[in-house]
Structure 1
């Protein structure tokens, strides 16, 4: 209820509305709004909003709780999520190939849902802390879902725009991901109940899972697999989907 909270939020919404209005009026807009007429572009960015909010929340809460709650050093707390990163590096290229064959919808739906299971596995964390049984399983499952998600998410959004607009399409997706990462951190006190103790950590894990489930459902309902050309039947890439495995638009 503090004016220091709601007034900047309200001002931001007004400025956002003004920006959109201005982009509709000018001949050469910074952000061509007709990009959002593409179903895959709009749905992909909406899915990005939920998925990257979940990634930011999970990464921040895990790193802080493992230090303050579990008593790990900063280095060990940082290394705790390394299995997820390694799995993404190892599998993203292969996933990119499969996306070219089967389309992105399956992966953009299944990936976040699998990550939500990984987030819920963090509910195993207890006062009697044991990384190997309480955190590692969740990190492995989370990493598998992340590998399924990142490459098709990025390539679908870029593939939904004309080649000459790939730069602005990437910039929009990057901006959405950055904003998504800020929102749950700003709301962290409300999410955790005011303290990042074990109960707060569990609340954050459930919230992370909920965001990922919504992101997966948005992909299920909104993403459409591009049409396949005749060359695709022999194993080529799906039309309109960038083939190489892409990095997420942020850390």
Structure 2
């Protein structure tokens, strides 16, 4: 987030795009001769992105969806470990600062502040070392991507969807939106699934979530894509588009 602007991104640099095509048709319009006719609408392109060289995305791109599912789950677990380690480290630094200030007894304020500053400097240095080591390992191996856990869960769902396991995929998408408020791709997939079940109310809820993300996405890179899927879903919810 920059100046209360949400930067909606799926990954950092070296992104690889993957398109999943969804064919749609316009509902038959009323003709003067009462003959129904369907007008084909352009193919709906949904783009997902991932780190280039990542084993999970490579498997997904190659159509090896069972392997991709396994690798995205590994990514998720790796990202979770990073999150927990980072939180534990931050809490450790905070407790160290509190302990030093308490032991100082509030008498020698200058010494306490010095100790606190030293702890912060030490903490920043350690965090930088951890980040550098992680980046070095990723550059060398590229086996796992230990970031953006919600995206890894979403791509697990995409792999499950390709394997014909719609229920598992829906569960993964639900986990993704529960974890991240800006996972609009997962909201989109959930809306489509509910529309296919004729659950327009449920689909409308996910459309509202997407529109909320759009309001916060003033100048983010994904704005055009979010606008496109929002418009598409609105037509579908209104019955102007029939899903195959």
Instruction: Say which one has the larger Rg.
Output: 2
TM-score normalized by structure 1?
Answer: 0.29
When you count strand as a share of all residues, which structure comes out higher? 2
TM-score normalized by structure 2?
Answer: 0.30
